[in-house]
Copies of this chain bind each other. A is one copy, B any other.
């Protein structure tokens, strides 16, 4: 974690060992799926007796939680960096950059994507107090973007001004208050759809739902991302 506070070789070794365990556990996820993660297999791969792992990780569930935390943090950092790489008023550029960052991260971390956004892991319940906050980084980033879109006051294609029913309006109002942003019902609801569709696109690609149909995933994804950007009222960008 705080590798700058490490002084003795033993501490350095410990940090390294924990990193190794996580890396090997990730590979296990890759090879077998989220539920097959086993401390014994990790120990075997580490070249160490199974009980030795308990020096570093208190339990299997704890290891899973650590992997989930790290996954959300890694994805969150990647998207935040992508967002920060564009000027704040380059709204469409930010949307595109964030979307691509999400997909790129997924392509580079398939097992983690499955762990975070696939179905639940059997016999394991993630402790909310540790996973909700890091799991919200991407959505908060998107919400911030949507708020900036709202602030710019771009006109939205009237065609898509779908009326918001009352019970949904209540949810959206509460959401606005919780987040402390100013945004119309219409734009917020468009944002939620774009957020959902973005993750849906990535999950469909990662879980093989497009098999037999789409092969040019890069082009396909960029294309749909652009369409969604337009749905947000962002003018198309020349390539």
Given A227-B162, A230-B160 in contact, is the A33-B171 Cβ separation under 8 Å?
no
Indicate which residue in B132, B162, B166, B204 contacts A199 across the interface (CB closer than 8 Å).
Answer: B204
Indicate which residue in B120, B209, B223 contacts A168 across the interface (CB closer than 8 Å).
Answer: B223
Q: Is A123 an interface residue (CB 8 A)?
A: yes
Given A159-B159, A223-B164 in contact, is the A33-B200 Cβ separation under 8 Å?
no
A114 to B203, CA, bound (A): 13
Chain B residues positioned under 8 Å from A151 (CB to CB): none
Chain B residues positioned under 8 Å from A170 (CB to CB): 216
Shortest CB distance A14–B (Å): 30
Q: Is A32 an interface residue (CB 8 A)?
A: yes
Indicate which residue in B121, B157, B160, B224 contacts A189 across the interface (CB closer than 8 Å).
Answer: B224
Shortest CB distance A114–B (Å): 4
Given A167-B216, A189-B223, A223-B165 in contact, is the A33-B122 Cβ separation under 8 Å?
yes
B222 touches A165 (CB 8 A): yes
Given A117-B207, A122-B36, A219-B167 in contact, is the A196-B197 Cβ separation under 8 Å?
yes
A117 to B119, CA, bound (A): 8
CB within 8 Å of B: which A137-193 residues: 157, 159-160, 162, 164-168, 170-171, 175, 178, 189-190, 192-193
Q: Is A231 an interface residue (CB 8 A)?
A: yes
Indicate which residue in B36, B193, B223 contacts A224 across the interface (CB closer than 8 Å).
Answer: B193
- The contact string, 1 if C-beta is below 8 Å from chain B, for chain A 213-232, is 11110111011101110110
Shortest CB distance A187–B (Å): 12
Q: Is A34 an interface residue (CB 8 A)?
A: yes
A165 to B220, CA, bound (A): 8
A226 to B189, CA, bound (A): 12
A230 touches B159 (CB 8 A): yes
Q: Nearest 9 A-B pairs (CB), nearest first? A: A200-B200, A118-B119, A33-B122, A167-B216, A35-B35, A36-B122, A114-B119, A197-B197, A168-B219
